[in-house]
Structure 1
Amino acid sequence: MAAAAIWQWSAVQTADALKAGEISSEEVVGAHVERMRAANPAINAVVIDLSGPALEAARAADRARAQGAELGALHGVPVTIKINIDVEGQANSNGVVALRDNIAPADSPVTANFKQAGAIILGLTNTPEFSLRGFTDNPLHGLTLNPWDNTVTCGGSSGGAAASIASGIGTIAHGNDIGGSLRCPAAFNGVATIKPTQGRIPAFNPSAAVERPMMAQLMSTQGPIAREVADVRLALEVMSRRDPRDTWWVPAPLVGPPPARPIKVAVAKLPSDMQTDPEVMALLGKGADHLADAGYEVSEVAPPDVSATWQLWCDLISTEISTLQAGQMRELGSPDFNHSLDGLLALATILDGEGYMKAIAHRSRLLREWLLFLESYPLVLAPVSVRRTPGVNADLGGDEAVRAFFWNDTRFVSAISLLGLPVAVAPVGLAGGHPVGVQVIGSRYREDLCLDAAAAIEARVGVLAHTLWAR
């Protein structure tokens, strides 16, 4: 059996080989540059090519190693960054034509942490306008396609990140998530991710003119996407390092105390009004079987009210957008963006000042209910989507299409965003040739338990990207 190409190596394997001197960073980055040039034109995932500076950085990394410098956890390892966080000297356009010259004066904490660990930025990945759609397309950089099938979406808003990593471009992709923007793309592209607890990974954009609204700050998280769960774990460790510019960052340990064994997993009972695809739901069942086979105690249980949790997410984020952001967004956004935004706002109750304050208070009640539930069941297994991957730009089919995607298909995704809880995603197989992923939800700062369960599923399913490459 032929040895895997360098671009197919995991991040862990790549980092280990570089530290052992078995390969140079220039060779590794060069292999990924070649892969990017071969694979990216068909999917348009990496929209800012930094291969020139990346190769220079790789040569500098090799010189540092030769001189005996202390090596970081990702020394010489190629990664990608989503275009909505700051990389010094690059435009943080957020997919908006009018922001194409919004040059970052300094690195965001995520970028700085990657660089401090020795990682090399290969390129910047695509996002929809204002990173606010679940479908990755914009007038500035165009449409990103799903490498499994160009008739279905790669998801959003971290669609470029997930499509690139599934295609073998880089070893780790940065993304972020306020309503499913890490989890849906990971599931639709057959790769793994972790949406960390709010406060785990520091975030801040030096290019930002104003601070984000309060609930956007509490619901938005940065996170890694990778082909293998071990790579997600490694990236989480690197990305989580302290940065004083984030006022919400928490110095929580990455590994918590061991829970009672066997660990109880609640397979979430679905609300009765959700329309599901039998093949997708069968794969969710297989995910539960894999956890049971790994020694988890698995049972079907109704978690706290996911529908009410989702609705509160929608009301709060839509109220903040309507009050503070919609004017500029509508002025700068394309007709497609405005059409999709209308569909989201149509699902919400836009709150007045009193209603907004009561809604924030109600969030605490819902979060308390979930935290108490997680005391009895430390993990919850839930779908990413209960139906198959939707078509390209399916949200442009009108308000009902937006409702179908956010309310019916991915209700368990955005609901958890409201709560700030950690969620891992692992692929569980293919439905109609398209990847299907599951969510593993945990209690605050227990990313370790979520990733352990995701790794147990991966050990039984395999790395789905290998199937893609073999086609």
Structure 2
Amino acid sequence: MPDEIWQWSAVQTADAIRNGLISSREAVAATLRRIEEVNPVVNALAEVLTDDALATADEADARRRSGELLGPLHGVPVTTKINSDQAGRATTNGVAAFRDAVVQVDAPHIENLRAAGAVFVGRSNTPSFSIRWFTDNQLHGRTLNPWNRERTPGGSSGGAAAATATGMGTIGHGNDIGGSIRYPAAACGVVGLRPTPGRVPHWYGPWDTDMLLGTQLMEVEGPIARTVADVELGLRAMAAPNPRDPSYVPVPLQGLPRGRRRAAVLRDVGVASLDPAVDAAITTAAGWLQDAGYEVEEVELPLFAEAWRLWWQLVQGVEFDDLGRLIEEHGDDAIRRSADLQFAVTKRMHSDFGLDAYVRGYGRRGTLMRSLQLFLQDFQVLLTPVSAERTFEIDADVQDVDRMEQVINAQWPMMSLAFLGFPGLSVPVSRGDGLPIGVQLVGQKFREDLVLQAGRVIEARNDVSAPITPSFYAVAETARR
């Protein structure tokens, strides 16, 4: 094990606490010291819960001594995202107008993490309204990528990914409707899982509030961690049954064995040019899978391009009105400009945002889902880019409409998968120009186990290790002194 407890994985920490090698208080105190050291530089956590975390850790230690049955994350330090309801905290979603929106009841996925024994050490930062791939807002400020401060840590779970990458918690809770787990994980050199919709129970807002159809069908909660094993542990905790989500599906986490191990490779669907470094990472990952016994085959799947376009038409084009009004009323300049440019690009793609287009689009969704499900009968996993570009420069989405179009086009692997409703794992492969580059692994619905299995193959051979101390930390320390 590493010397410092904050460097330990979630699996190592949970095992050590369960076996009495360390106490939860020791693990949490070490993590809080790390947060005190690094968070002022990276700004990944919008809120640090020192007193609550230490009190919860002491409770966890007392329960272990009493011989209680322990959950999978008993006493383990975890971060949660500021766009999810957590009892006694404000669900700010990075918006100043919501700074006092304190809730009294946990969201189902937060309730599950708490029931699993997780100790919440902090609340991770997001962009305003959680709709950018760049984590910055007027209320909590900007989160920096710990590998390079000139590049985005991703969004909307950029705070969760940056905190996890720097040792400010073993697992970070995130959510994803268009890449908000997978892109930050890739940008920060960690592992992020978008589970199958229905795998992890969730719901937003008061229980009598109607969620938009796209949110109900496509948004998921999932774990971000430094290892595939930790992601698997986080999934086990988050996926416990909870009756407050009507779409929850009680499917076992481990599926039936498959026959031949086959992996399909999808590089391009004609939407965006593939950066050579990203292309090289896919080739490398495919080679590692082949070395591990997978039969690897390059494929073409134009349905991904159609799914990507439909995401923008239905989610951003048709369903955006209510959120757009909130952004206009309560948003800061950056989120207003980003939203305006997103819609401008959407209008370049589509001219019809009426009810008929909405109904046809969701009808088409089922056909595309069926096609991908049939395709995956012959493959355990599908390997794709996470993004066609390397990690974006800071605020690439607010430069102008042409750059926004490039940003949106590059993200086709994530938007399309969210639209289709299949699980996806972002796992790092290599470091290009000092920045991590990841790939996406896609599997059949509710076969996260097969995706994680392939992720472990890639993880075993990559050269991206975390936790890290930010490369600019020493410079920031000198400036502060």
TM-score by length of structure 1 reads: 0.96
Matched, 1:308 2:309: no
Partner residue, 2:384: 382
Quick one: distance in 1 between partners of 2:71 and 2:201?
19
Q: Is the 8 A contact 2:318 2:358 kept in 1?
A: no
Against the structure 1 CA distance between its residues 48 and 144, is the aligned structure 2 distance closer, same or farther, given a 3 Å change threshold?
same
Give the drift of 1:272. Answer: 3.9
Give the drift of 1:329. Answer: 2.2
Quick one: distance in 2 between partners of 1:345 and 1:233?
36
Partner residue, 2:408: 406
Q: Is the 8 A contact 1:291 1:453 kept in 2?
A: yes
Quick one: distance in 1 between partners of 2:449 and 2:393?
34
Against the structure 1 CA distance between its residues 273 and 247, is the aligned structure 2 distance closer, same or farther, given a 3 Å change threshold?
closer
Matched, 1:361 2:363: yes
Against the structure 1 CA distance between its residues 137 and 470, is the aligned structure 2 distance closer, same or farther, given a 3 Å change threshold?
closer
Quick one: distance in 1 between partners of 2:80 and 2:298?
38
Quick one: distance in 1 between partners of 2:43 and 2:153?
11
Give the drift of 1:443. Answer: 0.9
Quick one: distance in 1 between partners of 2:206 and 2:54?
26
Q: Is the 8 A contact 1:135 1:155 kept in 2?
A: yes
Q: Is the 8 A contact 2:2 2:8 kept in 1?
A: no
| Stretch moving more, 154-163 or 409-418 | 409-418
Partner residue, 2:201: 202
Partner residue, 1:120: 119
Matched, 1:160 2:159: yes
| Stretch moving more, 320-329 or 44-53 | 320-329
- Once the two structures are superposed, what CA deviation does each residue of 1:56-108 show, in whole Å capped at 9, x if it has no partner? 11111111111212211111000000000011010001111111111112001
Give the drift of 1:468. Answer: 5.8
Against the structure 1 CA distance between its residues 208 and 321, is the aligned structure 2 distance closer, same or farther, given a 3 Å change threshold?
farther
Q: Where in structure 1 are there 5+ consecutive unaligned residues?
A: none
Partner residue, 1:335: 333
Partner residue, 2:433: 432
Q: Which amino acid aligns with 1:360?
A: Y
Partner residue, 2:12: 13
Give the drift of 1:221. Answer: 0.4
Against the structure 1 CA distance between its residues 346 and 430, is the aligned structure 2 distance closer, same or farther, given a 3 Å change threshold?
same
Partner residue, 2:455: 454
Give the drift of 1:392. Answer: 1.1
- Once the two structures are superposed, what CA deviation does each residue of 1:229-272 show, in whole Å capped at 9, x if it has no partner? 000001101100111111110011111111112x1111104134
Q: Give 1:94-109 correspondences, 5 Å limit.
A: 94-109=93-108
SS of residue matched to 2:140? coil
Q: Is the 8 A contact 1:192 1:424 kept in 2?
A: yes
Give the drift of 1:306. Answer: 1.7
Q: Is the 8 A contact 2:436 2:464 kept in 1?
A: no
- Once the two structures are superposed, what CA deviation does each residue of 1:288-338 show, in whole Å capped at 9, x if it has no partner? 111111111111111242211100011110134433332122111112111
Matched, 1:290 2:291: no
Quick one: distance in 1 between partners of 2:20 and 2:39?
29
Q: Give 1:240-259 correspondences, 5 Å limit.
A: 240-259=239-258
Against the structure 1 CA distance between its residues 462 and 429, is the aligned structure 2 distance closer, same or farther, given a 3 Å change threshold?
closer
Give the drift of 1:208. Answer: 6.9
- Once the two structures are superposed, what CA deviation does each residue of 1:8-50 show, in whole Å capped at 9, x if it has no partner? 0000000000010000111100000000011111110001110
Quick one: distance in 1 between partners of 2:209 and 2:248?
19
SS of residue matched to 1:265? strand
SS of residue matched to 1:225? strand
Quick one: distance in 2 between partners of 1:334 and 1:401?
20
Partner residue, 1:65: 64
Quick one: distance in 2 between partners of 1:208 and 1:387?
39
- Once the two structures are superposed, what CA deviation does each residue of 1:133-180 show, in whole Å capped at 9, x if it has no partner? 111001010100000010100000000000000000110000000000
Partner residue, 2:443: 442
SS of residue matched to 2:442? strand
Q: Which amino acid aligns with 2:49?
A: L
Q: Is the 8 A contact 1:104 1:206 kept in 2?
A: no
Partner residue, 2:393: 391
Q: Which amino acid aligns with 2:359?
A: M
Q: Where in structure 2 are there 5+ consecutive unaligned residues?
A: 473-481
Q: Is the 8 A contact 2:267 2:279 kept in 1?
A: no
SS of residue matched to 2:460? helix
Give the drift of 1:207. Answer: 4.5
Q: Which amino acid aligns with 1:379?
A: V
Give the drift of 1:3. Answer: 4.1
SS of residue matched to 1:230? helix
SS of residue matched to 1:316? helix
SS of residue matched to 1:302? coil
Q: Is the 8 A contact 1:93 1:100 kept in 2?
A: yes
Q: Which amino acid aligns with 1:190?
A: G
Give the drift of 1:283. Answer: 1.4
Give the drift of 1:279. Answer: 2.0
Q: Is the 8 A contact 1:79 1:170 kept in 2?
A: yes
RMSD: 1.6
Quick one: distance in 2 between partners of 1:343 and 1:164?
29
Quick one: distance in 2 between partners of 1:413 and 1:328?
25
Against the structure 1 CA distance between its residues 246 and 347, is the aligned structure 2 distance closer, same or farther, given a 3 Å change threshold?
same
Q: Is the 8 A contact 2:81 2:124 kept in 1?
A: yes
Q: Is the 8 A contact 1:155 1:188 kept in 2?
A: yes
Identity %: 43
SS of residue matched to 1:175? strand
Q: Give 1:129-208 correspondences, 5 Å limit.
A: 129-207=128-206
Partner residue, 1:318: 316
Against the structure 1 CA distance between its residues 291 and 384, is the aligned structure 2 distance closer, same or farther, given a 3 Å change threshold?
same
Q: Which amino acid aligns with 1:27?
A: E
Q: Is the 8 A contact 2:430 2:464 kept in 1?
A: no
Q: Is the 8 A contact 1:224 1:235 kept in 2?
A: yes
Quick one: distance in 1 between partners of 2:468 and 2:33?
21
SS of residue matched to 1:465? coil
Give the drift of 1:462. Answer: 5.2
Partner residue, 2:266: 268
